[in-house]
C-alpha cells in the first residue's frame, strides 16, 4: 500500500534525525511534540528540538498537553494518517489512537528489545555494563514497549563510552533503521516478531536516589554508573557535606574503606570502593563548572590529604 500521509510524534534531539529522513522521503502532514517547557536558569519557555525542526521545514505542529483527549483523537482521525511514527514522544498513546492508521503505529526504541523497556534504555544499558545495545523498530500496542518487533540494528558499547556518545550514535542509526522499516511496510514485506517477556528489564526513570554513587559497590559498577549518567543527569557524591558531580572516572587498583581518598596523583583523585579503586578524572564542585580533577587538587590538596572520605 503506498504511504501518502505520515504523522510524526517525537520531542527530544534523539527524534530529529528520524523526522528528517521521513521528511526527505515521505509526506509528513503533521508533527506532534510536547508543549514548550521552562528551561535554564531564566526558566524561559523553550521549544523542543522536534518543534524547531518542524517549524524550520514548514511542517504543521501540534502540542497537546494530553494526546488522549477526545479533541486530539478527533483531530488525528481528521488527518487520516496511513502511518503514525513515534520516537521518544513522551506520552502514551491510547488504543483509540493506535487503531487510527491502517498501517499501524510504529515506534523507534533505543535498545535491543526486549532487553530494556521503559523511559531510559540508553542510560541503563551502560549503567548495567551491557557490551552491546542498538535500535529496535516495533509495532506499537497498549503495553509499555511490548509490541511485535520489526527490525533491529546492533551497536557495540565500548568500555569507556558514555550515554551522550551512545545517544548520538543510536540517534543516527535509528533514522536509517526507520527508513528501512517504513519502506518494508509500504511493500508489505515488514517482518513481525513477538517479544519474549522473560528477557525484559525495566529502564526506570532516573532520579536523585539512583544517581548517587554507592561507594560499597565495585569500582567497575561505579565507573558504569558515572559514564551511564554522562551527560545527564550526572552521578554525584558528597565530601564534607558538599555535593560533587562526577563526570569521568577510570577503574584502578587500591584498597581502603569504601569512599576513602587513598591517593592523589597529578591528574586524579583515587578513591577506594567495595571492590578495587577508582580514579576521579573530571569533577564538578558545588556552584562551579566541571573541571579536571587536577585543577581541584591544586587548590584543595591539604583538604583532600586529610584522611577524608566521599559519602
* CB-CB contact of 215 with 132 (8 Å): no
CA gyration radius, the chain? 22
User: Is 306 a residue whose pLDDT tops 90?
Assistant: no
pLDDT in tens, 235-268: 999 999 999 999 999 999 999 999 999 999 999 9
What does pTM read for this prediction?
A: 0.94
Assess contact for 145 and 138: CB atoms under 8 A.
Answer: yes
> Looking at residue 41, what is its pLDDT?
77
Q: Comparing 32 with 119, which gets the higher pLDDT?
A: 32
Query: What is the torsional sign of CA 122, 126, 128, 133?
Result: positive
Amino acid at each position: 500500500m503506498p504511504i501518502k500521509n505520515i504523522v510524526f510524534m517525537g520531542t527530544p534531539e534523539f527524534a530529529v534525525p528520524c523526522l528528517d529522513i521521513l521528511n526527505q522521503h515521505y509526506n509528513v502532514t503533521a508533527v506532534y511534540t510536547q508543549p514548550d517547557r521552562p528551561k535554564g536558569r531564566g526558566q524561559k519557555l523553550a521549544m523542543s528540538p522536534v518543534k524547531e525542526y518542524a517549524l524550520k521545514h514548514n511542517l504543521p505542529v501540534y502540542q497537546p498537553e494530553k494526546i488522549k483527549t477526545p479533541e486530539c483523537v478527533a483531530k488525528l482521525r481528521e488527518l487520516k494518517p496511513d502511518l503514525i511514527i513515534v520516537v521518544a514522544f513522551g506520552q502514551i498513546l491510547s488504543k483509540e489512537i493506535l487503531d487510527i492508521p491502517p498501517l499501524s503505529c510504529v515506534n523507534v526504541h533505543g535498545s535491543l528489545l526486549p532487553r530494556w523497556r521503559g523511559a531510559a534504555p540508553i542510560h541503563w544499558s551502560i549503567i548495567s555494563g551491557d557490551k552491546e545495545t542498538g535500535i529496535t523498530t516495533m509495532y506499537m500496542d497498549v503495553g509499555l514497549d511490548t509490541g511485535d518487533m520489526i527490525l533491529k540494528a546492533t551497536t557495540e558499547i565500548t568500555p569507556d563510552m558514555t550515554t551522550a556518545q551512545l545517544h548520538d550514535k543510536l540517534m543516527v542509526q535509528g533514522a536509517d533503521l526507520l527508513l528501512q522499516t517504513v519502506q518494508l511496510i509500504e511493500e508489505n514485506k515488514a517482518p513481525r516478531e513477538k517479544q519474549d517477556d522473560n528477557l525484559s528489564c525495566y529502564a526506570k526513570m532516573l532520579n536523585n536516589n539512583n544517581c548517587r554513587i554507592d561507594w560499597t559497590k565495585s569500582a567497575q559498577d561505579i565507573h558504569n554508573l558515572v559514564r551511564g549518567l554522562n551527560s545527564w543527569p550526572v552521578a554525584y557524591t558528597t565530601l564534607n557535606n558538599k555535593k560533587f558531580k562526577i563526570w569521568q572516572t577510570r577503574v584502578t587498583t587500591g584498597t581502603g574503606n569504601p569512599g576513602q581518598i587513598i591517593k592523589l596523583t597529578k591528574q586524579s583523585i583515587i578513591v577506594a570502593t567495595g571492590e578495587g579503586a577508582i580514579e576521579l578524572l573530571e569533577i564538578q564542585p558545588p556552584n562551579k563548572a566541571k573541571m579536571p580533577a587536577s585543577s581541584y587538587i591544586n587548590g584543595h590538596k591539604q583538604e583532600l590529604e586529610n584522611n577524608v572520605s566521599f559519602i
